[in-house]
Amino acid sequence: MDKGMLLHSSELELNGEVFRMEVYGSAGRFFAKTCLGEGDAIITDGPSVSEVLRKHEEQLPLAVSSREIVQIYFGHPRRPKIRRTT
């Protein structure tokens, strides 16, 4: 996936863990990306920077929670709470 140009970067704190959200744009397409772990990222697309950021901020807590539920279910140790960057 072509990243395009970085247009926005901010952080969101969820349950004591800080996640970096980066918004990219290229040829009228926009998407946000957050790294949740090694080889694991959530990507959200949208028609504008503000819309993609709004959607990403809504979906990121669900993505983090669902991964934690899977880790608990399978008995995997919870990942350490660190600053997540892309």
Torsion of Cα atoms, 37 then 64 then 6 then 49, to 10°: 170
Report the pLDDT value the prediction gives residue 82, as an integer from 0 to 100. Answer: 58
Residues of the chain with pLDDT under 50: none
pTM for the predicted model, two decimal places: 0.78
What is the per-residue pLDDT for 81?
59
User: In the prediction, which pLDDT does 70 show?
Assistant: 82
